[in-house]
Structure 1
Amino acid sequence: MNKSSKLAPHTEGYILYTAWLVSVIATLGSLYFSEIKGFIPCELCWFQRIFMYPLAFILGIAAFDNDKKLKKYVLFLSVIGGFISLYHYLVQKVPGFASIKPCVQGVPCNVQYINWFGFVTIPFLALTAFIIISVLMIVLYKPWRKSSN
């Protein structure tokens, strides 16, 4: 048996737990920025929340039950959320995208409440979380590997 073709069972549990932890940190960070710091979310921020918040619950249940069958659904949500975050980040950082006005009401989408190190904005943080969750689900999923699920 080739050891590299299959993850150890306890490792799969850690992957689910890590993905859940990332989603909880992202959710709490989002709530911190809006509820404590008072940053009003723009329309694209709301869409990112729509895809991140359920992941905290879905991954929590999956990690608790060690249910790897949810990985396809989690991957779907994290990839879509990641594309929204990427687009939002491009609107903030790339001048050509700034002319596109996805947010027609409320806070403009190109507003950067934080800009740490010149590139870390809230959509960048969300994108990072979505990428980490997606990569963990791909490692867990591996459709090319034989699995009992």
Structure 2
Amino acid sequence: MDEGEDPIATRRGWMGLLARAPAKEFARLWDAAALEDFVHEWLRPPETGAVMVRGRAGATGAPFNLGEMTVTRCALRLADGRVGHAHVQGRDKRHATRAALADALLQGPEAETLRAKVLAPLAEAEAARRAARARRAAATRVEFFTMVRGED
């Protein structure tokens, strides 16, 4: 982490990226990085439940309940005392475990390796997916304009 960087915002960023990452892509990068399964104890073993998703009309209106979403969460502690948490969409307990391990490891000396081998490729893939979605949406955009009729 760089000087002046907010540690809470940084952690929030990597936890969000790990939660949004496709499980298969995350698993492939994790295995390719040759990260072992670090010895850990469960503070909260992986468990699946539902959370209420809220939305806002136009992103600025009053919040409303959109519906429920399935989420798997867990928390663990590494042998050296670092704690990792994860919440991931769906029922994949292994994805949640990897995300919690990554969260704990990103707080220590393994952080740079994990950023380079796992987080950077995940962030690039997410940016590519967002750009593709934006291009598809832009292709359907309709421009409305008003012509002045001169009768007024």
TM-score normalised by length of structure 1: 0.31
| Structure with the larger RCO, 1 or 2 (CA within 8 Å, 6+ apart) | 1
Q: Which of the two has greater strand per residue?
A: 2
Greater radius of gyration (CA): 2
Q: Which of the two has greater helix per residue?
A: 1
TM-score normalised by length of structure 2: 0.30
